[in-house]
Structure 1
Amino acid sequence: MKLSVITINYNNAADLTKTLHSVFEQTWTDFEYIVIDGGSTDGSLEVIRQNEGKLAYWVSEPDAGIYNAMNKGIRVAEGDYLLMLNAGDSLCNNTVLEQVFSLNTYNEDILAGDVYRAVNGKIFDKSCFPDTLTFGFLRSGTLSHQAAFIKKRLHNVVGMYDEHLNYSSDWKFFILAICKYNASYRHLPFFISICDATGLTSIPENFHAMNQEIEQILNQDFAAFVPDYVKFDSWQQKTLKHKISLAWPFAKKSIKKLIKRYQ
């Protein structure tokens, strides 16, 4: 089986329904669908039971947080690739999985497409990812797990999601996979999913704690890289400012000429 789609949910019946439908409507069907529910009490269990004939596996029981739930899904998954599409997220159209898998055979450890971001169903932003991943990119950014197809066997190398972290475990997985374990990567130059931007990592009140986790991970796993990266980044910024200061007088003259021309 090529793919396992995994959805985690807790007391989010309406958004769970939306996510389920976006998966069930796919024209390409060589995948299994797994739902990990955290013991919801809001009607989510009824939604799951109404659709259990289309699910390869589901469970509803208390968990120890988002990453614990994601790891539960990974452990029972049987697909070559895994896609984490949590309650509230949706695939951006009903042919996107066909576009990824039906005519293509991949060997890369990570396939990552682009993602829209939405609040209350309204798209307000998008993220398009680079064709090549570097430490510099991953130091200050990451891939979106809602649009990343990860080989299950990569977790045997990198490990599962770190359940001691509250916000940054998926970021940790990606930076370790690429920069420490040299995982192979392919960018898919089209949109895969619409990400619900009301999750924990999208809430401004959580940014400080999330950044603290990131700094902790960098100091733990990339202590030899960070000082040089900081110096190089500072040098680049100074160089850019210097180039701008040299170019500005010439640009200023050109702007004045244009203004006079059109007055």
Structure 2
Amino acid sequence: MTRLMPTISIITPVFNGAATILDCLKSIDSQTYSPFEHFIINGNSTDTTLALINTRKRPYRTVITEPDRGLYDAMNKGIKKATGDIVGILNADDFYPADDILSTVANAFKNIEIDSCYGDLLYVDSKDTDKTIRNWKSGKYARRKFFSGWMVPHPTFFVRRSIYEELGYFNLELGSAADYEIMIRFLVKHRITTTYLNKIIVKMRIGGASNKSISGRLKANRMDRKAWTVNGIKPYPWTVFLKPIRKIGQWVIK
């Protein structure tokens, strides 16, 4: 069953993102799809971020500048401001690689039985964004994959706004695992429907907030396990250890 094309809300949290924010904005401004809206949640940046944002004012863009409690608090603020049918998040150091990304997403949501969608993520060099570092080929969804350390690339994850309103927002107590937790809550616990878009949806610069060192990843294992327990689901003993191991292939397959 299908319906008319949905409206899309894009949320961009940023703090001192002067080095990358223009690439992010240009990729959004180049989208051929309409209608969509864009909320920038600027956590009182102290560099030239706000001045750069103001050079690309658009009717569909709203800028909110105020203190926040970090990345996921900023995301929550944006989602709660959103009015679109669909919500996507594009961080300040990420960008869409083509002008038809939102069109591809909107086409997926024409099916009213689809609650969410996701695609592939390309990690690129922080300076030379044409240079691929990692290729996250996510593949088709199966709930059981989560128990083997698989997860959706969160920057490519688009969700109906009604799902956030019904099932809740990012849990700030989970720290850097807040995106992992929300996907466990949505996809594993509540079993919302999703579909895979066999396409690179987002390019992410290596060195962004979501990229961890080996020591940081080991420290994050505790929060990953908590992401399961707060949802009342018991993972396999090896689930959170397989999660970083699965990333090895992303460095090899480019």
TM interval, short-chain normalised = 0.7 to 0.9
Matched, 1:134 2:139: no
Length-normalised TM-score, structure 2 = 0.83
Of structures 1 and 2, the one scoring higher in RCO (CA 8 A, sep 6+) is 2
| Cross-structure match for 1:257 | none
Between Structure 1 and Structure 2, which shows a larger proportion of helix residues? 1
**Contact persistence 1:158–1:173 (CA under 8 A):** no
RMSD over equivalenced CA pairs, Å: 2.1
Matched, 1:213 2:223: yes
> 5 Å matches for 1:1-263?
2-101=7-106, 105-107=110-112, 108-120=114-126, 121=129, 122-137=131-146, 140-204=149-213, 205-223=215-233, 225-226=234-235, 229-230=236-237
User: Could you list the per-position Cα deviations for residues 200-256 of structure 1 after superposition, in whole angstroms to 9, with x for gaps in the alignment?
Assistant: 331214212321101122233345x33xx3499xxxxxxxxxxxxxxxxxxxxxxxx
CA distance in 2, matches of 1:102, 1:109: 13
Three-state SS of the structure 1 residue aligned to 2:119 is strand
In the TM superposition, residue 115 of structure 1 has moved relative to its aligned partner by 1.3
CA distance in 2, matches of 1:106, 1:82: 16
**Contact persistence 1:5–1:31 (CA under 8 A):** yes
**Contact persistence 1:110–1:183 (CA under 8 A):** yes
For 1:14, the aligned partner's letter is A
Gaps of 5+ in 2: 1-5, 240-254
For 1:33, the aligned partner's letter is H
Length-normalised TM-score, structure 1 = 0.80
CA distance in 1, matches of 2:179, 2:38: 20
Three-state SS of the structure 2 residue aligned to 1:33 is strand
Gaps of 5+ in 1: 233-263
**Contact persistence 1:35–1:55 (CA under 8 A):** no
How many residue pairs end up in the alignment? Answer: 229
**Which piece of structure 1 moves more, 95-104 or 18-27?**
95-104
In the TM superposition, residue 139 of structure 1 has moved relative to its aligned partner by 5.2
CA distance in 2, matches of 1:231, 1:49: 47
CA distance in 2, matches of 1:125, 1:73: 29
For 2:160, the aligned partner's letter is K
Which is higher, the Rg of structure 1 or of structure 2?
Answer: 1
Three-state SS of the structure 2 residue aligned to 1:211 is helix
Three-state SS of the structure 1 residue aligned to 2:210 is helix
